[in-house]
Structure 1
Amino acid sequence: MDLSRSGRVVTAIVVLAVASFVAVGTASPAHADSVRDDAWYLEDLRITEAHRITKGKGVVVAVVDSGVDPTHPDIVGNVLPGVDIFTGEPPARGRDGYTAYHGTAMAGLIAGHGHGPGRRSGVLGIAPEAKILPVKVTRPEGLSTGREVASGIEWALSLGADVISVSLQTPTETLIDRAVKKAWNMGVPVLGATGNDGPSGMQFVRGVIPVTAIGSDGGFVEGLQPMWKPIGVAAPGGDIPTAREGGYWTNTGTSNSAAIAAGVMALIKARYPDDEIAHTYRRIRVTADDRGVGGDDSEYGYGVVNPVAALTEPVPYVSIGASTEPPEPTPSAAARDTSKVPTVVIVGGVGWLAVLLLGAAVGGVVLRARRR
């Protein structure tokens, strides 16, 4: 597949049933009293040990997604007002396009604190003392565009995000490239899902850490997307119990793995707030547990995230000097213009009513946007 700059274009129209919650393979309801027991990734990542060092306090993680339900018992109190990019106001129930199922799931994996006695029930996130900044970029019909995702990243930066998580199927869009470059220059890491059975444009953007998924057996989840270039990391993504409006669901997808890796990044930012971004990226990569053929590879990247190692192991420091672009107080006018661009598909955890792919070529290449 030719993924040169001249051919990196995706044009798609996707209709999403945001009221349903289906991912790759089978998805099934989960109950609050079983969610914690089924959260196999907590033991595999030694989260209890990591939480003795930090729980992410003081870090703001932007979830650029479909909105977040701030009343869910597992994240209540951890959700900031955020913004709906179409109104410039916080996302609100009853407003067109308020579809928080997928975003709520991602928020729980990042910063869920559970509920009940000792908070032993429900979803425990990787960084339960971090704050979630919901940035809603989906339209009423579940659609979003490359320009809107770029706008969401810029809004996240303007509202003080320390980490940005993008569990979306994005096109390869110049505006996204520019928004991520701005995040880099502001020292804000951006993590993106690689995709399920179709690649997301996020993994082709310089400055993004692409994240692919492993299952409970520790192996790469077959059928999901590997990395085009092995520059990212892997994280748990198979059979993950997640929060959703009104309850819980178990699903598989690189959405989950990207959110979990974003939680690990929140722990790193809390522990090492003064690190330059190049060193922050280096820390999550070089402390990852190598899997596969040895060294970086397309199925695991640098390896599976290891929160404890990332927080405790010495990592040779690499300086990039001062940022070259100062932060702006509000998103640019270009980012506010949300028209005439390719469409983005939410990754995993969302049901599809129909998918209609419309081809458009630049340099004669079309990347098909498929279910991820």
Structure 2
Amino acid sequence: MSRHTRRSFVKLSGAVLGGIATGTTVTAAASTDRFIVDTRGNADLSDVEVVHDLSAVDLAVVRGDRKAVKGTKFAPDVTATLDEPVQQEVAEPTSAVDESLYGLQWDKQDQSIPEAHEITRGEGTRVAVIDSGVLETHPDLAGPLNVDLSRNFTDDGGDHNPVASDHGTHVAGTIAADDTNGTGVTGTAPGTELVDCRVFSDEGGASFGDILAAVTYSAEIGCDAANLSLGAYPVPRQGNGKFYGKVLNRTMTYANKEGTLLVAAAGNDSADLQHDGGVISLPNEGAQGFSVAATGPIGYQWGDDGLRAPPHSPAFYTNYGTNAIDVAAPGGDADRSAIGSGVPYFNDLVLSTVFSTDADGNAVPSYGWKAGTSMAAPQVTGAAALVKSVNPGYNANKVDSVIRQTASVPDGYDKAYYGGGYLDTLAAVQD
């Protein structure tokens, strides 16, 4: 199996927008009537509709005629659409009231989460999930989720709940799935309070402006961490890419100063982010972003004599780069040659909360596997909640520092895949 295969991307508007999870195919479109405006310098917005007033960071997302924003610093809002990952599987049993699935959670076992819970479960913290929505009726998420604070940042007219993809629901379960109900899966920080910030619309798109709004909101409501399992790569540093990078940096710096650690997926392009000259990966390479690469086993519970690769082994798809990655964390791996062979290849992916849709269009809570740096980032977000819970006086930079300083590069592996090292949740809580 090749461990460094690249996907193809569709270029548009001077940028290529990367995927949210392993195997996605992504297209991007620049809006002709929606713009991100830098409001420094008393920009006149009287002839446009303000979609998001981000005055805390001197930005606005507006809708109207392009001529109405001339004379300001602006760029078209950009929307990315995605397909679901090909490396995914629904768990059996699929009922949300069946026996515990912790035995299949190699990621939580590897991170010594039960031992960490003897110290803290994340009580007293708040975490935002900026994603495709979190299913509030899922029995493993109904407890941690703060429905009153959760928001839909798109203009599709719905609430925060997912309308299509279960990606955000999977991410949320990795962070905070309930460990007290005797069913399902266990989250890293089940004692934290989850806030759902939906930025993917019912058409499957996520606009850059909605993401900026969700980051700003997460900081304003006092989230200790915000998970961004989404990304754009490669974005040229010149032209509109320079503008997008500038406004993102401003927004992320604001969030960091307000105490919100921004944890972002590094991307699934098998790309060397440190030596890819002239382009940048966003948001993980933005100012104050905590960039997470992915690892995973090969052969977990396949029924043979042992693993072909351990849980800390770099996943075939992960982006890398010594100075571009902060840490690596369990995101799942896959031997794609094993798919269809009868072996449970999906056990090497990350198991978490998902849902299916019945004949009437209703979401039915269940559990399933996915792989990607999208699945690695929430491992770190959950760990950040635990660290903050134990050390309530820590700011975002201190939580960041503890996670990196307690991580280490596994013997025999290339530092480029780990940055500061492989996540050690228990050590971070004990620090």
Q: Is the CA contact 2:222–2:260 (under 8 Å) kept in the aligned structure 1?
A: no
Q: Structure 2 residue aligned with 1:281, among 378, 400, 403?
A: 400
Contact 1:196/1:224, CA 8 A, preserved across alignment: yes
Distance 1:198 1:84 in 2: 32
Matches within 5 A, 1:19-98: 21-23=84-86, 26-30=87-91, 31=93, 33=99, 35-81=101-147, 82-86=150-154, 91-92=159-160, 98=163
Q: Which residue of 1 aligns with 2:381?
A: 262
| 3-state secondary structure, aligned to 1:212 | strand
1:120, distance to aligned residue in structure 2 (A): 3.7
1:179 aligns with 2:251: yes
Shift of 1:60: 0.7
2:340: which partner in 1? none
SS at match of 1:99: coil
CA deviation profile, 1:49-87 (whole Å, cap 9, x unmatched)? 100110001111000001100110111121112111136
Corresponding residue for residue 229 of structure 1: 323
Deviation at 1:228, TM superposition (A): 6.6
After superposition, the Cα gap between the structure-2 partners of 1:142 and 1:228, relative to the gap in structure 1 and judged at 3 Å, is farther
1:113 lines up with 2:178 in the alignment: yes
Cα distance in 2 for residues equivalent to 1:198 and 1:215: 15
SS of the residue 1:275 aligns to? coil
CA distance in 2 between partners of 1:219 and 1:89 (Å): 42
8 Å CA contact 2:160–2:196 kept in 1: the answer is no
Describe the superposition over 1:105-126 as per-residue Cα deviations: whole angstroms up to 9, x where unpaired: 1110000014xxx634312000
Q: Is the 8 A contact 1:237 1:255 kept in 2?
A: yes
Residues 68 and 100 in structure 1, CA contact (< 8 A), matched pair in contact too: no
Q: Please identify the structure whose Cα radius of gyration is greater.
A: 2
Closer/same/farther in 2, CA of residues 267 and 43 from structure 1, 3 Å limit: same
Choose from 228, 240, 243 the match for 2:350: 240
Hey, what does 1:297 align to over in structure 2? 415
User: How big is each residue's C-alpha offset from its partner over 1:268-293, in whole Å with a ceiling of 9 and x where there is no partner?
Assistant: 11111112332221100010132256
Q: Secondary structure at the match of 2:174?
A: helix
Aligned counterpart, 1:188: 260
For residues 8 and 234 of structure 1, do their structure 2 counterparts lie closer, same or farther at Cα, with a shift above 3 Å needed? Answer: farther
Letter in 2 for 1:160: G
SS where residue 274 of structure 1 aligns? coil
Question: Which whole-Å CA distance do the structure 1 matches of 2:155 and 2:367 have between them?
Answer: 29
Q: Which digits, 9 at most, give the CA deviation of each residue in 1:253-282, with x for residues without a partner?
A: 111110111000000111111123322211
TM-superposed deviation, 1:230 = 4.2
Indicate yes or no: 2:270 matched with 1:205. no
- 1:272 alignment partner AA: N
Aligned AA (1:86): T
Following superposition, which runs of at least 4 residues in structure 1 exceed 6 angstroms of deviation?
none
Please tell me whether the aligned partners of residues 292 and 300 of structure 1 are also in contact (alpha carbons under 8 angstroms): no
Give the distance between the partners of 1:235 and 1:145, measured in 2 at CA: 27
Q: How far is 1:236 from its partner?
A: 0.6
Structure number with the bigger relative contact order (C-alpha 8 A, sep ≥ 6) is 1
Matched length: 295
Q: 2:186 aligns with which of 124, 137, 141?
A: 124
For residues 114-163 of structure 1, give each alpha carbon's deviation from its aligned partner in whole angstroms, at most 9, with x where no partner exists.
4xxx6343120000110110001112211112222111101212222111
Distance 1:89 1:27, change over 3 A: closer
Contact between 1:146 and 1:170, CA under 8 Å: does it hold in 2?
no
Deviates more, 1:104-113 or 1:271-280: 271-280
**Are the aligned partners of 1:204 and 1:228 in contact in 2 as well (CA < 8 Å)?**
no
SS in 2 for 1:119: coil
Residue type of the alignment partner of 1:85? F
Contact 2:222–2:259 (CA under 8 A) maintained in structure 1: no
| C-alpha distance in 2 between matches for 1:255 and 1:36 | 20
Q: TM-score, normalised by structure 1?
A: 0.73
Report the alpha carbon displacement of residue 22 of structure 1 after superposing the two structures with TM: 2.8
Q: Which residue of structure 2 aligns with residue 214 of structure 1?
A: 295
What amino acid maps onto 1:103 in structure 2? G
CA distance in 2, matches of 1:138, 1:111: 21
Q: Residue 151 of structure 1 corresponds to which residue in structure 2?
A: 213
Name the aligned partner's letter for residue 56 of structure 1.
Answer: G
Structure 2 distance, partners of 1:228, 1:148, is 30
One-letter code of the match for 2:90? P
Q: Secondary structure at the match of 1:128?
A: coil
1:36 is displaced (CA, Å) by 1.6
**Partner of residue 342, structure 1:** none
> Which structure's residues are more often strand, by fraction?
2
Contact kept, 8 Å, 2:285 with 2:324, in 1: the verdict is no
TM-score, normalised on structure 2?
0.63
Aligned partner letter, 1:249: G
Secondary structure of the residue that 1:134 maps to in structure 2?
Answer: strand
1:71 is matched by which residue type in structure 2?
Answer: T
The CA deviation string for residues 182-220 of structure 1, in whole angstroms up to 9 with x for no partner, is 011112111000111266412211201100111131211
Change (3 A) 1:272 1:37: same
